[in-house]
């Protein structure tokens, strides 16, 4: 299987992808991803940057290089916009605030756990991690550890009774090192919280905040009707789908995601979608519909599995839904999100067994 766009390594090239909007690719080492797009919206006062990569000196050097190629410096950045509370999107926001006094914009509900290790939900879906493994098995060994079986319910922390998804060992090691160095400094202070419908004045144009919960509860996108530009964050990606975790503040995270996909599909006159990973693309409505179809197909598959299994745990469902190489906490989290969506819709029933595990039945 060919490498997906989102898995491509970062290039140093800086390109104008919309009027006064520059795409700057930053390197990241995360499962299923090879870069994150940081967009610089340039105006007479300097620039606003959107999603300034992971924390750490490597990202900061890359940002300095990309800004220099655009005849900018960190001191010219007056605004940092964070589409959601994952570290590859807010990583250098605090550094910009310190270096240039930049204001930091994020959704009002922005929250990054009690500490850096709280980033337990991976960025991309289990299917897309598997596709990465099919394309580059040798690279996978460097970026992703094999999933382990769930811990007993007495040690589990998930609602269904399994262990929580965790980042790969190398990312956990990085967070441990940052904790020792005072990791709280990497989480930015949000100086300008926003909500759905708010307007940001950037590059002499009005950009509308579109709240899009699903991937995270605090995710938002930006729409510029004048140029037809839509900055999508992780909400709508060109060739992969974001991870929809069953561990969420929403009782039905998949329903929240569907609602958000419908919301952006209704926006008229979008000519250019700027995703956080992968290349810009033109058709927002069709891509949102394709992602919904993917999850609708997954829901039908879950119902078929239920009819074949009878009453079964989330782990049992997940091991029919995914290949053995993908079994583990992340697969269970995605499966749980789909099972809960069916339960809330009245298409599945749930109870706890003698061991405290959730057991589901689908009609």
Buried b (16+ CB within 10 A) or exposed e, 120-139: bbbbbbbbbbbbbbeeeeee
DSSP-derived 3-state class of residue 202: strand
pLDDT band at 72 (very low <50, low <70, confident <90, very high): very high
* Residue 254 burial (CB count, 10 A): 26
Sequence-separated (6 or more) residues with CB below 8 Å from residue 135: 1, 2, 3, 4, 7
pLDDT in tens, 290-331: 999 999 999 999 999 999 999 999 999 999 999 999 898 889
128 in any annotated domain: no
pLDDT band at 178 (very low <50, low <70, confident <90, very high): low
Q: Residue 268 maps to which CATH number?
A: 3.60.15.10
pLDDT in tens, 87-110: 999 999 999 999 999 999 999 999
326 in any annotated domain: no
Tokens standing for 325?
A: 């190489």
User: How large is the average pLDDT for residues 136-161?
Assistant: 42
Cβ neighbourhood burial of 355 (10 Å; 0-12, 13-18, 19+): exposed
pLDDT in tens, 223-262: 999 999 999 999 999 999 999 988 888 899 999 999 999 9
Number of structural domains found in the chain: 1
pLDDT at position 249 is 82
Distance CA 67, CA 240 (A): 28
DSSP code at position 189: P
With beta carbons less than 8 A apart as the criterion, state whether 150 and 163 touch.
yes
pLDDT band at 125 (very low <50, low <70, confident <90, very high): confident
Q: Could you tell me which residues are beta bridge partners of residue 23?
A: 15, 39
User: How large is the average pLDDT for residues 168-181?
Assistant: 55
Expressed as residue numbers, the domain containing 42 is 5-115+182-282
64 in any annotated domain: yes
pLDDT band at 161 (very low <50, low <70, confident <90, very high): confident
199 in any annotated domain: yes
User: How large is the average pLDDT for residues 196-214?
Assistant: 97
338 in any annotated domain: no
Strand order in the sheet with 348-352: 312-313, 358-362, 348-352
Whole-number mean pLDDT of the chain? 87
246 in any annotated domain: yes
pLDDT at position 332 is 93
Lowest mean pLDDT across 24-38, 91-105, 134-148, 157-171:
134-148
24 in any annotated domain: yes
121 in any annotated domain: no
Strands (E), 128-251: 192-194, 199-202, 205-211, 220-224, 229-233
Tokens standing for 137?
A: 């098995």
pLDDT at position 247 is 85
């Amino acid at each position: 299987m060919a490498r997906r766009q989102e898995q491509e390594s970062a290039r140093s090239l800086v390109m104008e992808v919309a009027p006064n909007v520059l795409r700057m690719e930053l390197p990241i080492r995360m499962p299923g991803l090879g870069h994150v797009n940081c967009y610089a919206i340039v105006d007479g006062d300097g620039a606003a940057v959107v999603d300034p990569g992971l924390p750490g000196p490597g990202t900061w050097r890359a940002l300095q290089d990309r800004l220099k190629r655009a005849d900018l410096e960190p001191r010219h950045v007056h605004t940092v916009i964070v589409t959601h509370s994952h570290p590859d999107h807010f990583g250098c926001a605090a550094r910009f605030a310190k270096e240039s006094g930049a204001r930091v914009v994020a959704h009002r509900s922005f929250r990054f756990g009690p500490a850096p290790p709280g980033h337990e939900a991976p960025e991309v879906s289990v299917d897309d991690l598997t596709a990465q493994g099919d394309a580059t098995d040798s690279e996978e060994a460097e970026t992703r550890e094999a999933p382990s079986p769930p811990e007993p319910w007495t040690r589990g922390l998930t609602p269904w009774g399994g262990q929580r998804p965790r980042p790969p060992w190398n990312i956990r090691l990085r967070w441990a090192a940052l904790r020792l160095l005072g990791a709280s400094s990497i989480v930015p202070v949000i100086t300008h919280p926003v909500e759905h419908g708010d307007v940001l004045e950037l590059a002499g144009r009005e950009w509308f905040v579109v709240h899009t919960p699903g991937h995270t509860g605090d995710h938002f996108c930006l729409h510029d009707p004048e140029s037809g530009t839509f900055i999508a964050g992780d909400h709508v990606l060109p060739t992969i789908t974001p991870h929809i975790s069953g561990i969420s503040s929403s009782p039905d995270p998949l329903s929240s995601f569907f609602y958000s996909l419908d919301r952006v599909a209704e926006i008229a006159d979008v000519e250019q979608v700027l995703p956080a990973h992968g290349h810009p693309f033109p058709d927002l409505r069709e891509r949102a519909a394709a992602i919904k179809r993917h999850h609708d197909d997954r829901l039908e598959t879950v119902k078929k599995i239920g009819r074949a299994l009878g009453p079964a745990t989330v782990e049992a469902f997940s091991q029919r839904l995914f290949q053995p190489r993908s079994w583990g906490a992340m697969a269970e989290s995605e499966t749980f999100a789909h099972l809960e969506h069916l339960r809330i819709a009245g298409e599945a029933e749930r109870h706890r067994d003698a061991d405290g595990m959730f057991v589901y039945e689908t009609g």
